[in-house]
Amino acid sequence: MSAVAVLLGALALFALGYRFYSNYLAKKVYALDPAFLTPAHAYKDGVDFVPTNKHIVFAHHFISVAGAAPIVGPAIAVFWGWGPALVWVVLGTIFASGAHDFGAIVVSVRHRAKSIGALAGDVISGRARILFLLIIFFLVTMVNAVFAVIIAGLFVANPQAVLPVLVTIPLAIGVGQVVYRRRTAALVPSVISLIVVYACIPLGQMMPITVDPIAGALGVDVSLVWLVLIFTYTFFTSRLPVWMLLQPRDYINQQQMVLALVVIVAGIVVGMNTIEAPVLRGDLPEGSPAIFPLLFITIACGAVSGFHSLVASGTTSKQLDKETDARYVGYLSSLGEGTLAVCSILACTAGIMIYSANQGGNWSDIYVDWAAAGTNPAGRFVQGVAGFASNIGVPEGIGLVFATLVVVSFAATSLDTAVRLQRYTIQEISVIVRDRATEGGALEKTFSFLARNITVATLIAVLVPFGLALVPGNFAAGTLWQLFGTTNQLTAGLALAVIAVWVTKRGRNPIAVLVPLAFLVVMTSWALVVQLLGFLSSEDSLQRYLLAPLDAVIFGLAVWMTIEAAIALRKAFAARRGGTAPADEDAAEPEAAAEGTAGPDDRA
């Protein structure tokens, strides 16, 4: 099969989705109002609430959600063949992810930029809020552990990419100062910064940066040193105002994403490569997992992802200048991530064979079994992109550094955002516990302190995933990925439940939200049961005594949360049939915002 035909077909369907389906969602489902006073204006503080140009918000949202996950998931899932992976990515992006990201932004904006966990309390029930927050805590912990391990692994394998990655940080801070202080457009400064970053690629090849001497002196593994440095970095950067590093680096990375896609597309078109993998693999090795339901949780980001709702309601909704920008930011970001996932599929089924041509062998030798599919998937994407880049004359060494730079930049941005979101989640949970504890008691004092203290909350947000990342072997990037994917898709389903109840209360047709909601709830619940049985029967003590209990807890929370959502949805339909107006009318929100009635807890 021609890689060009697959790519162009997917892009055409994405274009149609944006032109027609997102317009339907904007007008008939979410009913966007250009006059609505967004929280970015109502609570403007220059730190989290910052009215921002839609192109910059798009860059932030897109790059924050398009981390390593839309690369890694498809790189593993092509084990079953490229056909099922492609179908799920395209359909999931258009009909599930687009409605999910778009809706999460709108509902958050309509509720003073509250997080999706807090929204569950407002829209569904008070119990739903704490249930959702606990699921979010588990999800973000796994996101941070997996992404940090992926970054550390790429740094170890490609030390030539470290220098260009490091140079991005001061350049982004400089862009932030220019844009925020002087109120200038971000395009020119970000393009100049990206040129400087790529000019450092040859320097990185001449001066590869490693931490081997430090690891040798301490007698520890090289990856451990990188993990310490990565989590230390995120501890500090996640506390900076969004305009100082997060937004400008996102905009630089957006230009980098555009360039990466140009290189990949040009390489595919010039090379006219064919896909070497089977459409549907019929000769699965013994012991391979079934495609149902695991395909739909292996490819999480890139089809639909619950992590997106955390970004949408945690940071994006606080920066939205106009409510109508939600369509451009939310739906188009989903299409961008879907495009990245399609490129990952092609890189691991066509591009990687260009890279591997001199080594002999075929595609089935690379994906010899399920364990091989889960080993270094980000590295296979890097090799595949380097293969496509070689079609347009880019030397293999530079192509590898370029692709590594792309993956690390996206993963690092997602990691920064995720640590910030985890801090919000910890503070929200602390507020709930504080309010329910005995006044003046030790529990009330402890959680009151945690709710106010950003340093301690951030420290917890860093140390818990750091502990998971330290588990030896391929645990974080391999075994943990399965549970991460399931929890991620479960979170997407629960976020859609919140959106569905909100839409139903307002008398609009929720079918566009209910269909992906039902599909995800069924698939993730099925996958949690399959994984639980697998963990319990495993000879690996980590799977039996760590992942099995964690899986069971998440499954229990999911069932409870689903019941709460079903009850709320039934009540919403009953109220609509009876002509009862919702208690939290949107019409009241602009006036409340204008009066500045939101307290610190509302902004967590």
Q: Tokens 């993963």 sit at which residue?
A: 411
Residue type, 510: P
Render pLDDT for 326-376 as a digit per residue (tens, 0 to 9).
999 999 999 999 999 999 999 999 999 888 765 556 888 889 998 888 888
Contact 302, 69 (CB under 8 A): yes
Spatial CB neighbours of 270, under 8 Å, sequence gap ≥ 6: 391, 392
Q: 146-161 burial string, b = 16+ CB within 10 Å, else e?
A: bbbbbbbbbbbebbbb
**Is residue 600 scored above 80 in pLDDT?**
no
Which residues does 405 contact at the CB level (< 8 Å), separation at least 6? 161, 164, 165, 197, 201, 256
Half-sphere exposure of residue 299: CA atoms within 13 angstroms, side-chain side: 33
Q: Which two tokens stand for residue 212?
A: 């081997």
> Regarding predicted confidence, which is higher, 484 or 304?
304
Dist CA 453 CA 391 (whole Å): 53
Task: Tell me how many domains the chain contains.
Answer: 1
pLDDT score of 594: 34
Residues pairing with 274 in the sheet = 2
Residue closest to 277 by CA, chosen among 188, 373, 413: 373
Question: Stretch 156-166: mean pLDDT, rounded?
Answer: 92
Which candidate, 498, 495, 510, 501, places its Cα nearest to that of 570?
501
The crossing angle, in degrees rounded to 10, of helices 82-91 and 332-346 is 170
Q: Which residues are paired to 2 by β-bridges?
A: 274
The rounded distance, in Å, linking the Cα atoms of 89 and 91 is 6
pLDDT at 360: 52
- Residue 589 vs residue 189, higher pLDDT: 189
Paired with 43 in beta bridges are none
Which residue(s) pair with 320 in the sheet?
A: 52
Evaluated on CA atoms 276, 281, 282, 286, the torsion sign reads positive
As a whole number of angstroms, the distance between CA 467 and CA 462 comes to: 9
**Average pLDDT of the residues in 142-162:** 90
Q: Rounded to an integer, what distance in angstroms lies between the CA atom of residue 403 and that of residue 164?
A: 12
pLDDT band at 584 (very low <50, low <70, confident <90, very high): very low
Averaged pLDDT for residues 485-501: 91
Assess whether pLDDT exceeds 50 at residue 589.
Answer: no
Write out the H or E segment, with its range, that includes residue 435.
Answer: helix 396-436
Task: Give the domain range for residue 190.
Answer: 3-603
Q: How confident is residue 598, by pLDDT bands cut at 50, 70 and 90? A: very low
